[in-house]
Amino acid sequence: MNFQIEFIEDKVEFFDANDLKSLEKKIEVKIDENKALMLGVHSVSHQMHVTDKGQTYFTAVVHFKLKK
């Protein structure tokens, strides 16, 4: 048997929440999980939207890359 290990080089994950604190917590948890895969944060993009009813909605996209 021949085993070959391949690393994930790029990974993009999407997050959403009703408040900024919850969004930050979700991202922090994923950062810790991806450290085990040797992935670090390459970039983060985020947006906030206010609905017609005045409710806020936060989204984020985090790009993880293999640490070399």
Is the CB of residue 39 less than 8 Å from the CB of residue 64?
Answer: yes
Those residues with Cβ within 8 angstroms of residue 51's Cβ, 6 or more apart along the chain or in another chain: 57
DSSP string, 9-26: -EEEEEEEESSHHHHHHH
Spell out the domain ranges in the chain: 10-66
DSSP string, 39-61: EEEEEEEEEEEE-TTS-EEEEEE
Q: What is the pLDDT of residue 63?
A: 98
Task: Kindly tell me the sign of the dihedral angle through the C-alpha atoms of 4, 5, 10, 11.
Answer: positive
Q: What is the mean pLDDT of each run of 10 residues along the chain (68 residues)?
A: 85 96 97 94 96 94 94
